[in-house]
Amino acid sequence: MRKYHAKKLEKEAIYPYQDWKITENEFLVENNHHNESIFALGNGYMGIRGTFEEDYPGSEDTTTPGFYINGVYASENIIYGEQSPNLPMKGQTMVNLADWSEINLYINEEKLDLLKGNLIDYQRELNLQQGTLCRKMIWEDRQSRKIEIKITRFISFSREHIGAIRYQFKAINFSGRITINSALNGDVRNHHHLRNKKALSILASEVDQNTGYLVHKVNSTDFKIAYVIEHLLGETVKDHCEVKKRASDNRIDWVFEINAVEGQDYTIDKLAAINHSQAEDENPLSDARAFVARAAITGFENLLEEQAEFMAGYWQDADIKIDGDNALQQAFRFNSFHILQAVGKNGRTSVPAKGLSGEYYEGHYFWDTESYVLPFFAFQRPEVARNLLLYRYNTLDKARKNAKRMRLKGALFPWRTINGDEASGFFMGSTVQYHINADIAYALNLYYQVSNDHEFIENYGLEILIETARMWSSLGSYIPLYNNQFCFNEVCGPDEYKPGVNNNAYTNYMAKFNLEIAIEIAEKIKENSPEKYQRLAERINLNEQELEMFKEVASDIYLPYNDKLEITPQDDSFLYKNPIEVDNIPEDELPLVKNWHPLIIWRYQVIKQADVMLLMLQLGNNFRRELKIKNYDYYEPKTTHDSSLSPAIYSILASEIGYKVQAYNYFMQTARLDLDDYNENAYQGIHAACMGGTWLALVQGFAGMRMFNGKLYFHPHLPDGWHKYQFRLRFKGSQIEVTIDQKKANYLLISGQQIQFKHYDKIITLNQSNLNQEAEIKQV
């Protein structure tokens, strides 16, 4: 373990270790931003930061509320210091939308404000089992009046347009007027990009007794967003309540004045339906009204129950049980919960790098989805993985245009995007990472192998594979001084600290994989569904000569190896750069991306994130164990892990080559990155890829699961100090449960007819007459 990383591991837990909960027991205003990310709720369609219901005007320093819809963005011209031809002209930024969660409570005229008065009791709890967030408080105002408040909120998974808040309160030592001011606040702005721009206008608003709506338009992109609110008043509120309502241009307030009686419980449920549309002739309002009306009929309690049922189903597939380490037990569930909250499931959206929990990275989708999050779903909820790939299919035309922009054939997927166009104005960190094409092809093949979804591969998958392969065949070139091998110049691998290099090994190998898998699947479909194949071939002008050319290119791709060091060089120039070890860089200069000029970073052998090591994992069947060890030993001291995508991959490789301590330490850094705030940036939003990486690090790392050529392998071991761990996987229509303890692995067929895989070298077959098999594990 490097000095710097070891230090990070010393970080203390922020929340107590609990199996199914994240609990904040003390309110400290300085933790607000971090907590707003940790307690963010979402359902893949929309997400809300964990900002308190009561507002704290003028408090941007201490709170950054946010409500977002996945895929709803504003678009502004990118301002360049110096222009070059063919740069993207327009950015895309996920818009901070109306705040429907605002609820303020007043005792007479005194507003509930945790920074004033006396906070006697406080607890906020994210319940991962139920999918709810609950805050309980006892607060005393400056006249010594005490009030007990309980607020429960959730964003429904089964009704993607519905969010709900139950607001309960009780006057403990007084009777008197309590006012609840519930609002729908459309006067909002982004906190980072666009902060000086008015991204939204109000198209319509109306308020009636307990209900009302706003309709927003995103000025630059014509998205229309309808928010409809309905309040359900508890019996005791109805008896004592007078409702006033006010609508200004950009907000609606409902004022419930209650003559509260000491010791009496009062409840107000606030239901919100949010819906959007970009089509000119569509009005999202009528559907939103119908959604809220239906939710109101169902009622809060039943909605809560639905939520719990949904979560129970999810945990059936996605839970990982760890016996012997409750810090990790908690982390796993927390991460799996947030991944679920982040993922777009409608084929038109994907996974923003920060989920729907913050504005950083502008809500953009990166390769993070395919390389880090998609495997999690492919093996647990394949239908979600399918929709992520459909999103790419639905943006294929834009990727074709992007290829043309770069004078390339086929399709080049954007590095950063929401709508499918490249949204990055910094090409040395974006367009240069052509490897995204191969990452998508790799994920597509992974999904196909795991699911056997022939319909998908025939109707969508092959077209993506051919178009991405075309890009590679036009990007590279035969270089005489490299024995006329096919080389890729001016690229960047996953390591963003080395952009604009020639023959990045990860890129070359993955391009070869992309070309080969395109050919293999084309040939398969040609044989199995000749008519479908023919139709596609005609539509995209694919012929035999082109497939032959792909074959030739794939076999001619230059695959770097350095004889002298007996390692895989990261690229042509890497080994010749200035030597350096991360342990010799002063800690306060890390992360380098924030402290060193890019040119300084580029001249050193210093790495931001797993690059060659990711290659050793993804195409691991091409490389010998000795090479993996040599590569690990060479690259590990040079890697800063300045990207949170890195430690998981090092953990997996460390597991594979028997470096048990490193495997565990890197695993810890991945698993609790946001909970313990290792990188001190969780306030910006959760790290979705890192969360997916945690799952990879357990399943591929400790359990040594690999899938090559449609076959499944396990090489399990148990980390020191653990007693047992257990997870479930789906594979080709079956589901198995894998349990690893100190001595043995147990494989149990949960559903499906038959499944076959290897445990080390032993073939295991589970079927209806042999549901369960135990096997020895080797000690590492």
- Asked, as a colleague might, if the bond just before 647 is cis with ω within 30 of 0, I would say no
User: Strands 162-171 and 46-48, how do they pair?
Assistant: unpaired
Nearest distance from C-beta of residue 372 to ligand BGC, angstroms: 9
Cα–Cα distance between 536 and 552 in angstroms, integer? 22
> How far is C-alpha 442 from the chain's CA centre?
18
Backbone angles phi, psi at 273, to 5 degrees: -115, 130
CB of 214 to ligand BGC, least distance (A): 32
Cα torsion through 539, 542, 543, 548, rounded to 10: -170
> Could you give the CA distance from residue 382 to residue 375 in angstroms, rounded to a whole number?
9
Q: In this structure, are residues 133 and 153 in contact, taking their beta carbons and an 8 Å threshold?
A: yes
Q: What is the β-pairing status of strands 744-751 and 711-714?
A: unpaired
**Which segments of 186-287 are extended strands (E)?**
200-207, 211-218, 224-233, 241-247, 251-260, 265-277
Closest approach of ligand BGC to the CB of residue 496, in Å: 4
| Cβ-based nearer residue to ligand BGC, 487 or 601 | 601
| C-beta of 336 vs 433, nearer to ligand BGC | 433
The whole-angstrom separation of Cα 551 and Cα 90 is 37
Residue 56 three-state SS = coil
Q: Could you tell me the strand order of the sheet in which 41-42 lies?
A: 41-42, 46-48, 67-69
**Closest distance to ligand BGC from the beta carbon of 608 (Å):** 6
- Separation of alpha carbons 106 and 177, rounded Å: 8
Pairing of strands 754-759, 711-714: parallel
Q: Report whether 368 belongs to an annotated binding site.
A: yes
CA dihedral sign, ordered 372, 374, 378, 380: positive
Task: Name the residue nearer to ligand BGC (CB basis): 352 or 410.
Answer: 352
Identify residue 379 by its one-letter amino acid code.
F
Q: Which of 496, 516, 546, 636 is catalytic?
A: 496
Q: How many CB atoms lie within 10 A of CB 320?
A: 20
User: Could you tell me which residues are beta bridge partners of residue 321?
Assistant: 726
Task: Count CB neighbours of 207 within 10 A.
Answer: 17
Secondary element (H or E) of residue 151: strand 146-155
Contacts of 520 (CB under 8 A, 6+ apart): none
Spatial contact of 218 and 257, defined as CB atoms under 8 Å apart: no
Q: Is 496 among the residues known to form the active site?
A: yes
**Shortest Å distance, C-beta 437 to ligand BGC:** 14
Nearer to ligand BGC, 631 or 643 (CB): 643
CB closer to ligand BGC out of 307 and 335: 335
How many angstroms separate the CA atoms of 445 and 465, rounded?
Answer: 9
Measured between alpha carbons, how far is residue 613 from residues 109, 509, 634, 703 in Å? 61, 13, 10, 18
- Give min distance, CB of 761 to ligand BGC, in A: 35
The radius of gyration of the chain from alpha carbons, rounded to an integer in Å, stands at 27
Measured from the CB atom, the residue of 266 and 361 that comes closer to ligand BGC is: 361
Q: How far is the CB of 338 from ligand BGC (least distance, A)?
A: 14
How far is residue 778's CA from residue 780's CA, in Å, rounded to a whole number?
6
Nearer to ligand BGC, 254 or 367 (CB): 367
Nearest to 314 by CA among 335, 336, 330: 336
- What is the rounded distance in angstroms from the CA atom of residue 522 to the CA atom of residue 544? 10
- Beta carbon nearer to ligand BGC, 319 or 495: 495
Run of H or E including 180: strand 176-185
Residues contributing to the site for ligand BGC (CB under 6 A): 353, 361, 366-368, 494, 496, 608-609, 643, 645, 689
Q: Which residue's CB is nearer to ligand BGC, number 33 or number 364?
A: 364
Whole-angstrom CA distances from 198 to 95, 152, 220, 602 are 10, 32, 10, 38
Annotated binding-site residue? 367: yes
Tokens 């090559």 label which residue?
708
Residues 341, 40: contact at Cβ < 8 Å?
A: yes
The least distance separating ligand BGC from the CB of residue 685, rounded to whole angstroms, comes to 10
- The torsion of the CA quartet 91, 92, 96, 97, rounded to 10 degrees, works out to 130
Tell me how far CA of residue 200 lies from CA of 195, 216, 223, 283, in angstroms. Answer: 12, 6, 9, 17
Sequence-ordered list of residues with C-beta below 8 angstroms from that of 669, at least 6 positions apart, any chain = 5, 8, 9, 641, 647, 678
Closest to ligand BGC by CB, 315 or 372: 372
Residue 603 Cβ vs ligand BGC, minimum distance, rounded to whole Å? 19
Residues 510, 442: contact at Cβ < 8 Å? yes
Residue 758, strand partner residues: 713, 763
The distance from CA 580 to its chain's CA centroid, rounded to whole angstroms, is 33
Measured from the CB of residue 393, what is the shortest distance to ligand BGC in angstroms?
Answer: 21
Select 494 or 647, whichever has its Cβ closest to ligand BGC. Answer: 494
Is 596 annotated to bind a ligand? Reply is no
Q: What three-state secondary structure class fits 776? A: strand
608 is in an annotated binding site: yes
Minimum distance of ligand BGC from residue 364's CB (angstroms): 8
Please say which residue, 428 or 549, places its beta carbon nearer to ligand BGC. 428
Binding-site residues for substrate, please?
A: 367-368, 608-609
Catalytic residues: 496
Q: Binding site membership: which residues?
A: 367-368, 608-609
